[in-house]
Each structure stands twice: as structure tokens, then as C-alpha cells.
Amino acid sequence: MTKIQLYDTTLRDGMQGEGMSLSAQEKLRVAHRLDELGIDLIEAGFPSSNPKELELFSLLAAEHFDHAQIAAFGMTRRRGAGAAEDPALRTLAQCFAPVCTVVGKTWALHLHKVVRVDREENLRMIDESVAFLAGEGKHVIYDAEHFFDGFADDREYALSCLRAAARAGARTVVCCDTNGGTLPHSIATAMGEVVAAMAPLGVAVGIHCHDDAGCGVANSLTAVAQGATHVQGTINGYGERCGNANLVSVIPNLQLKLGYRCLSDAQLASLAPAAHFLDELLNFTPNPDQPYVGRNAFAHKGGMHVAGVNADPTTFEHIDPAVVGNRRELLISELSGKGTVVARAREAGISLHDQGAARVVERVKEREHRGYHYEAADGSFELLLRKEAGEYRQLFRLESWRAIVEKRADGRVETEATIKIWVDGERYVRTAEGNGPVNALDRALRDALTETYPHLGEIDLVNFKVRILDEAKGTGAITRVLLDASDGDQVWGSIGVSENVIEASWEALVDSLEYGMQVSTRTAASPGS
């Protein structure tokens, strides 16, 4: 089994993506998580570019990594000057990182129109920059920018750029599809020639793809099939424009379907949590449809799927979800039957007999007809199960609530909510302001409840979606609110439906907190069980 060297550039190329922002400390956490995952090389950034990067490199220098090596990134020397005099290359040479990745030009169009360097000088820039860093004892990786465009334009020149790097001492030469528009068949042709041309030079060949044509993953696999043994990409495909090749898809494809070795089995089983960790840290909602690791990636709807999966999971699943740290999701919808409900109850540790399950199915159907939709509201669904099984505990009894929004002539908007509730025989009246009526209700309710349930303070509302059903009824339409909440460990969804957006939100909010409390009770109880 050929071992593939995994090169993660989340912290450098990935950071070019929209909305990507991490402090030096957060980048350190990412590096450790990538190390645990089993990434071989972690590109941390340009050590020379700014104080934040300098801080990151000095932090990294003091860290221990079990497996991964840190790579520092830079460009070939400026034209017409010596490599040893180039300040950026000198910083690279002095940086603690054992691996240096140098990017250089390959495509004549760029030489003419962007950097205004002639072809021969470009080859000297590659040669001298790589030789300088190799001479300083660095493990050098050469990134050939716009390689595939260059290859299509002038095959021989593109190969001569790679040869210059290889002869100057690069350990790996990487073909980059920088503009991201190359398709697999072109990647295959070019990589076949590259691998053949580099073989006599004893240099490894790598691939670096982007997803502008929706083929970033397939392009990476194609390159490996042609003999590349080093793959660059980012976690979750972060990166500018349409993103970089997504390592979270590339890795299981290589290892589970193509017979290459990337990670240990235990590391592969931490892929989904690692992918979600990165999203959480970056404050992105994880893409529920992401291959292998998304919440929906192994979701089944409808009776036939559920029956098939029960008989033999391979009937409807291309891999065992546990292998990548994901799990099967049996979606609850009006199409689902009793079997799905029973299976979900079992998962949640709720004992529900057949008759109860049948009643839940009826209940779900009736509620979906009114606009409920339990697929994304696993928390609300579990509360339905608990109510049916007699395992439901109400957090409080409502006397009333009131939300007031006022707009003044000066444009100021004020929002206030008052709730009156009973908890354990005690009456609580609380008023809170908020930046909207639901926010104010949330605050007032928590204010009243946290005295009795301090754990509620740990629950955050992380996602709030409003959908108007039957939009064509204008403001008289039914509103469906979906809330996601998290206690920092688990995320759950809840739902509310009403003609009134505030009432729908309230319903989802209450489900959200009630579910959160059932979970905490379950967790607290588990050591004794």
C-alpha cells in the first residue's frame, strides 16, 4: 500500500477564503488538531509577512507535535538579486520550520503580463531559491503555480520549471491548478508526463487543486492515480473563490476506495469530529450535506431505505459511517414508519413499545401536515418520544408572556418581554430587553429558570432560521422557526410553527431548553447506570 503524504494548507491558502479569521492561538489549536488527525505536513503561513504570522511561528517553535512537521511558505527570490540576499528567503531560512515550501511561476502568460520576468530568469529564480534553502538544511517543497495552464500553453517550459526545482534539491515538486478550472482528463495527461519526467530525478510529485470547476477532489484522486504521492488541500475545502481541494473528501476516497494509506484507522475515525471542530472554531455552520462527514451524509428517509439498511447497511450506504467518525441518521418524516421511530427511541435510550411508536408516527404525520418538519429538529422529536413514553419532564408551567416592540419618531426601536411562569410551585415574573422580541423572551425566560436549572446557562442558541410556509399568503402565512442549540458538546435542533412568528419562536425556544435539560440529566445519570 503506497503511503500518501498529506499536506494541509488550511492555515495558509485556506485563510484566503471569505470569512476566515483565526488568532495565532487558534491557529495553534488547529495545528494540534491536524497533528492528531495524522496530517504529515502543516503549512502554517508566510513567516515574514506580518506580526501575527511572526507570533504564530514563535508559538509553533515552542510546541511539540507527535507526527506532523511544520512547513513555512514563501516565494522564489526577486528578479535580478541573489537568493541569499532576498529578505523573505532569509527569514524562511532562519525560521524554525524544518520544511520550506517555495512557490514560483510556470506559465509564460504570467511571466509576461503579471511579473514581467523572462523565461530564463524565472528558471534561475527557481533554481537559486530552492538551492539556497536546501543548502540551509531545509526540506524543500516546490509549488509550481498555474502548472496546468502553463503545461497546456508550453509543455516543455512547464516541465523545465519542475526540473529546475528538482535539480536544485527540492524533495517534492507540486503541480498547482491555481485557477482551479482544470478537469480530470487534463490533470491525468499532464500528471502522467510529470511523473515520468521526474522519475529519473528521484523527486516526489505532488498535487494542489482548487474547486472552481467542482472537480477539486476528483482532480486530486486522478493525480494520485498517475503517481503523485503528495496531496495538498484544506480541511472542509476552505479557500478563496470556490475553495481548495477538500482533504476531508480526498482522504477517505484514497484510503477506503483506492487502497492508499493516509491515516491510521483510529485517525480516520476522528475525521468527522476534526472537520466539525474546524467549522466551530471558524464559526461556520457545518455543511450538513458534506460528503463523508456531513450530518446528512448517511441520512435515510422513507420506509424502504430504513428496511434495507436494517437488513444490510451496504444496500444504501457506500461506506460504514463509523469508519470516518460519522453516524447513520434515520430522518423522521411523514414517509417514515414505525421501525424508524423505534430505532430512534432505542438510540436515545427511551423505551417505547410498538403501540406507542405507532401513535408517534400518527402524531408526526398530523403535525407535518400543519407545517412541522422533524428532519432538522431532532430535539423536538425526542421530546415527542419522551412524552409518549412518559419520560418527559416539563421545565416550567406558563402563566403568560408578553413581547412589546416599539418604534419612536426618532427611529429608535425598543423591545421588551415579560414572562410569568411557575417552577416547582414558585412563581417567577421576569422582564428583559433584547435586540428583538425572541431575544428578549429568551433572556427573560433564562433569567427565571437558571436559579433552578443552572445548567441552562451553558446552552447557547447557535442557529435561528425562519421560513414562511405558503409564502403566497403574505403576512398572514404560517411561520416555521428552526433553532439549533448547543451545550458546547452536542448540537440539537428544535421547531415551532404558528401564524405568529413570535409564538413559533417561543415554541422552538422552549423545546430547545427542555431538550437541553433532558440531555444534561441523561449525561449526569449515566455513570451510575
Residue found by looking up cell 495558509 in the block: 12
CB-wise, 398 or 525, nearer to a second copy? Answer: 398
CB-wise, 269 or 307, nearer to a second copy? Answer: 307
Shortest distance, position 16 Cβ to a second copy, whole Å: 6
CB-wise, 129 or 222, nearer to a second copy? Answer: 222
Distance CA 220, CA 254 (A): 10
CB-wise, 404 or 525, nearer to a second copy? Answer: 404
3-state SS track over 71-97: EEEEECCCCCCCHHHCHHHHHHHHCCC
Q: Which residues pair with 5 in a beta bridge?
A: 230
126, 191 contact by CB (below 8 A): no
Shortest distance, position 202 Cβ to a second copy, whole Å: 28
Shortest distance, position 218 Cβ to a second copy, whole Å: 3
Shortest distance, position 89 Cβ to a second copy, whole Å: 18
Q: What are phi and psi of 398, to 5 degrees?
A: -85, 130
CB-wise, 12 or 301, nearer to a second copy? Answer: 301
CA distances from 284 to 236, 463, 498 (A): 11, 10, 29
Shortest distance, position 298 Cβ to a second copy, whole Å: 7
User: What cell does 522 get?
Assistant: 441523561
CB-wise, 68 or 145, nearer to a second copy? Answer: 145
Nearest CA to 143 out of 133, 156, 134, 130 is that of 130
Which residues, at least 6 apart from 16, have a Cβ–Cβ distance to it below 8 Å? 239, 240
CB-wise, 84 or 299, nearer to a second copy? Answer: 299
Shortest distance, position 401 Cβ to a second copy, whole Å: 5
H-type helices in 95-203, by residue range? 108-110, 119-135, 147-153, 155-167, 184-198
Cα angle 284-462-236, degrees, rounded to a multiple of 5: 20
Shortest distance, position 176 Cβ to a second copy, whole Å: 13
Shortest distance, position 148 Cβ to a second copy, whole Å: 10
Shortest distance, position 24 Cβ to a second copy, whole Å: 11
DSSP assignment, residue 473?
Answer: G
Distance CA 201, CA 194 (A): 11
User: What cell does 137 get?
Assistant: 538544511
Which residues, at least 6 apart from 62, have a Cβ–Cβ distance to it below 8 Å? none
432, 444 contact by CB (below 8 A): yes
CB-wise, 16 or 431, nearer to a second copy? Answer: 16
Question: What does the chain come to in residues?
Answer: 529
CB-wise, 437 or 516, nearer to a second copy? Answer: 437
